[in-house]
Amino acid sequence: MPADHPVVLITGAGRRVGAATARQLHARGWTVLLHCRRSRDDADRLAAELNALRAGSAHVLVADLDDPSVITPLAEAAIAACGRLDALVNNASTFHPTPVGDITDADWDRLFGSNARAPLFLTQALAPALRASGRGAVVNITDIHADYPLAGHVVYCMAKAALAAMTKALAKDLAPAVRVNGVAPGAILWPEGEGEMDADLQREILRSIPLGREGGVDAIAETVTYLITGASYISGQIVAVDGGRSVWG
Ligand SMILES: NC(=O)c1ccc[n+]([C@@H]2O[C@H](COP(=O)([O-])OP(=O)(O)OC[C@H]3O[C@@H](n4cnc5c(N)ncnc54)[C@H](OP(=O)(O)O)[C@@H]3O)[C@@H](O)[C@H]2O)c1
């Protein structure tokens, strides 16, 4: 039997923006499917916390989106979890610099794999369920750097630009049953690990933000939640959530 509550699959939902988005949709009564890759422990902890609030309202799905062969099983597991799917948030993303002169095929595959290829094939695999929902919605998390390049990150910028183009193209191809929108974050939470930015670059970025601060994960989560749970006449749009940075000289 399909679940009574609407169901959302969020990729990269173990931590940071994805986890905040899961919390907000869960607070609105949604069942959340938390996809993760390496953050299994975080995703399990989040699922336990949400299931303690409402039994059976959170499930964890593990897959490395660099591997094209995981898409079909991931989509099947997502449908099997609750027997329905109402929304998909393509949030998982790899981010690291690619200085010209040192760019490799492996950089291309990793940055396009999680940021562009997996969102397309996952959306395609889940399109029948999203159509059947009657309220189907997809939200792709892009980046303001799809339009305003970040120096030294050409491949990431290209991959996010592909995701932005996909957002608009699929808004046509999946209409009228499924709305497809995007959220383009500015500086929300500083990158960690291989994409880490030094203090000078962080200060330079903060100087270019009219609102003068990082956005924090809830700024993205609340916009995604609005695009999924409200916004019934909005499709094909990409909302910049960037403290005004994209209109700064
Ligand atoms: N943070 C910002 O300020 C900012 C700015 C602009 C755009 N964005 C965009 O907003 C979204 C969320 O940002 P964030 O900072 O929360 O992202 P993040 O922490 O950099 O990445 C989110 C998750 O993506 C997953 N991921 C990466 N590569 C994957 C792969 N090959 N297969 C499966 N999962 C993979 C990771 O999951 P595991 O940990 O489970 O491996 C990671 O936890 C991303 O799309 C990002 O590009 C963020």
pLDDT higher than 60, residue 226: yes
Mean pLDDT, rounded, for 165-193: 97
Q: Tell me the C-alpha to C-alpha distance, in Å, between residue 129 and each of 46, 100, 116, 138, 141.
A: 25, 41, 21, 12, 21
Q: How far is the CA of 95 from the centre of ligand 1 (A)?
A: 7
Does residue 2 lie within any of the structural domains? no
38 lines ligand 1 (CB under 6 A): yes
Q: Give the pLDDT score at 27.
A: 98
Q: Does the predicted TM-score (pTM) go above 0.75?
A: yes
Residues 113-164: tens digit of each pLDDT: 999 999 999 999 999 999 999 999 999 999 999 999 999 999 999 999 999 9
Q: Which residue's C-alpha comes closest to atom 42 of ligand 1?
A: 12
Q: Say how many C-beta atoms besides its own lie within 10 A of residue 169's C-beta.
A: 13
Mean pLDDT, rounded, for 210-215: 96
The domain in which residue 200 lies consists of 7-242
pLDDT higher than 70, residue 249: no
Q: How far is the CA of 36 from the centre of ligand 1 (A)?
A: 10
Does residue 248 lie within any of the structural domains? no
Does residue 247 lie within any of the structural domains? no
Q: Give the pLDDT score at 1.
A: 65
> CA-to-CA distance for 175 and 173, rounded, in angstroms?
6
226 among known catalytic residues: no
Q: Give the pLDDT score at 121.
A: 98
Q: How many domains does the chain have?
A: 1
Q: How far is the CA of 152 from the centre of ligand 1 (A)?
A: 19
CATH of the domain at 12: 3.40.50.720
Average pLDDT, the chain: 97
Q: What percent of the chain has pLDDT over 90?
A: 95
Listed in sequence order, the residues at least 6 apart from 56 whose beta carbon sits closer than 8 Å to its beta carbon are 3, 31
pLDDT higher than 60, residue 36: yes
